[in-house]
């Protein structure tokens, strides 16, 4: 499997496989965001998910995949710091704003910044139509967030705070997307990287909640949510990282931002939210932007 992934990296086949992984990741990430937001405290929800990620990955890391060597530990240390910042910003945004307001801002901010980072730090080249496609995608997502904001209950201080945290979170998404793509490309065994990545980045929130709540009683209300959310996280984050190993970072990450379409569908089906013609048009803009990036 590893040899096959390495053989298709940078090829048309690799691009197609990366696109498929990005789409799976997009749907999974929309579900992941809904699970973290939900009705529970987003800090507790995320801690519950991370707890189960650690439970799932610990035996695999200890007994089934190679242990990190030398500089690989430094790479994992960097991932711990970056993803901790992301999780804190995401939780702060969710506790201040509605899912349909916060989520599109986070996902809309990321693509343009990710494309810029990939071009600057990973040496990837993108043509004009791809930059235009990312601009269309990001603009459509952010305008969708504006419509959701206009329809939200008026609590301006909370909404402004939520949007501020969402913007910062979007930038951290671009940072971790670029860093994770660089990291997984350095490891000979990408699956070993993913296992150890999930393990080391899943310890902080549960440990903090244990100290804060003095035990594990906080985990009971989110027990099953955490178990399911951890499985979704493997598809969401693991899928996009494998995609960036074999494909171009901005192309894969842009397609992943179609998660906003899935988030809107979740809001419509599961949360009873209505879709206006303008929202439907913007969803079309999101899809068109992703297509333009791929056509480039």
Structure-block tokens of residue 238: 């693991």
What's the pLDDT score for residue 130?
Answer: 73
**Short-list 134, 143, 174, 115, CA closest to 289:** 134
User: Which tens digits make up the pLDDT trace of 238-279?
Assistant: 888 888 888 777 777 777 767 767 766 766 666 565 556 676
284 close to 149: Cβ distance less than 8 angstroms = no
What's the pLDDT score for residue 283?
Answer: 66
What's the pLDDT score for residue 145?
Answer: 67
Using the structure block, give the residue that is written with the tokens 């707890």: 51
Distance between CA atoms of residues 61 and 66, nearest Å? 8
Terminal CA-CA length for the chain: 29
241 close to 194: Cβ distance less than 8 angstroms = yes
What's the pLDDT score for residue 293?
Answer: 66
Whole-structure pTM value: 0.81
What's the pLDDT score for residue 12?
Answer: 76
What's the pLDDT score for residue 23?
Answer: 81
pLDDT digit string (tens) for the chain, length 296 residues: 777 777 777 777 777 787 788 888 888 877 777 676 656 677 888 888 999 999 999 999 999 999 998 889 999 999 999 999 999 998 888 877 777 677 777 777 767 677 777 777 667 777 777 778 777 777 777 777 677 666 666 566 777 777 788 888 888 988 888 899 889 988 888 999 999 999 999 999 999 888 887 778 877 887 888 898 899 899 988 888 888 888 777 777 777 767 767 766 766 666 565 556 676 676 667 667 666 665 65
Distance between CA atoms of residues 172 and 178, nearest Å? 10
What is the DSSP annotation of the chain?
Answer: -HHHHHHHTTSHHHHHHHHHHHHHHHHHHHHHHHHHHSSS-HHHHHHHHHHHHHHHHHHHHHHTSPPP-THHHHHHHHHHHHHHHHHHHHHHHHTTS-HHHHHHHHHHHHHHHHHHHHHHHS-----HHHHHHHHHHHHHHHHHHHHHHHHS-S-HHHHHHHHHHHHHHHHHHHHHHHHHHHHHHH-S-HHHHHHHHHHHTTSHHHHHHHHHHTSSGGGGGGHHHHHHHHHHHHHHHHHHHHHHHHS-HHHHHHHHTTHHHHHHHHHHHTS-----HHHHHHHHHHHHHHHHHHH-
Distance between CA atoms of residues 123 and 112, nearest Å? 16
- 174-191 burial by CB neighbour count: b if 16+ within 10 A, else e? bbbbbbbbbbbbebeebb
Structure-block tokens of residue 5: 């992934």
What's the pLDDT score for residue 78?
Answer: 94
């Amino acid at each position: 499997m590893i040899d096959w992934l390495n053989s298709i990296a940078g090829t048309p086949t690799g691009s197609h496989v990366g696109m498929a992984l990005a789409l799976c990741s997009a749907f999974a990430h929309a579900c992941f965001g809904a699970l973290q937001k939900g009705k529970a405290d987003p800090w507790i929800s995320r801690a519950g998910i991370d707890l189960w990620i650690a439970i799932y990955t610990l035996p695999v890391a200890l007994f089934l995949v190679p242990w990190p060597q030398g500089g690989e530990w430094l790479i994992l240390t960097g991932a711990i710091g970056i993803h901790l910042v992301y999780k804190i910003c995401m939780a702060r945004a969710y506790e201040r704003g509605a899912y349909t307001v916060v989520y599109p801002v986070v996902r809309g901010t990321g693509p343009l910044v990710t494309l810029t980072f990939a071009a600057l730090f990973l040496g990837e080249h993108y043509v004009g139509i791809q930059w235009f496609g990312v601009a269309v995608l990001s603009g459509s997502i952010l305008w969708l967030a504006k419509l959701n904001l206009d329809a939200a209950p008026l609590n301006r201080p909370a909404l402004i705070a939520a949007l501020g945290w969402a913007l910062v979170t979007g930038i951290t998404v671009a940072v971790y997307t670029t860093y994770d793509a660089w990291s997984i490309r350095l490891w000979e065994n990408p699956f070993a990287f993913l296992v150890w990545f999930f393990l080391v980045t899943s310890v902080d929130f549960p440990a903090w909640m244990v100290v804060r709540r003095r035990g594990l009683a906080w985990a009971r209300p989110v027990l099953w949510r955490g178990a399911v959310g951890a499985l979704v996280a493997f598809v969401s984050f693991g899928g996009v990282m494998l995609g960036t190993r074999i494909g171009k970072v901005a192309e894969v990450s842009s397609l992943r931002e179609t998660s906003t379409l899935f988030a809107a569908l979740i809001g419509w089906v599961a949360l009873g939210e209505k879709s206006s013609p303008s929202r439907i048009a913007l969803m079309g803009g999101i899809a068109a932007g992703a297509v333009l990036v791929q056509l480039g």
